[in-house]
Amino acid sequence: MSRPDTLSARQVAILHVIGDWTIEHGEAPTVREFGARVGVASTGSVAYQLSRLEARGLISRTGHRWRSCRLCA
């Protein structure tokens, strides 16, 4: 079991996807695009990981949709 302050490999991958995709496209990917990039078919699993990252203050979003998320400093 991982420590609570440690990111999982999937969470690290999602953070990389946000950064890379935003550079390429000017906005974050959709939940399905996140899943395709990190190898997760379940949109619920992706949304769960995103919400955990948001709760830790690593990402934020301006609206209700995950497509508006961005990395926090």
DSSP letters for 17-59: HHHHHHHHHSSPPPHHHHHHHHT---HHHHHHHHHHHHHTTSE
- pLDDT attached to residue 2: 53
Give 8-67 pLDDT, tens digit per residue: 999 999 999 999 999 999 999 999 999 999 999 999 999 999 999 999 999 999 888 999
Residue in the structure block whose two tokens are 């709760």: 55
pTM (2 d.p.): 0.87
Domains of the chain (ranges, CATH numbers): 9-71 (1.10.10.10)
Nearest to 58 by CA among 39, 45, 72: 72
* 8 Å CB contact between 12 and 20: no
With a cut of 60, say whether residue 7 has pLDDT above it: yes
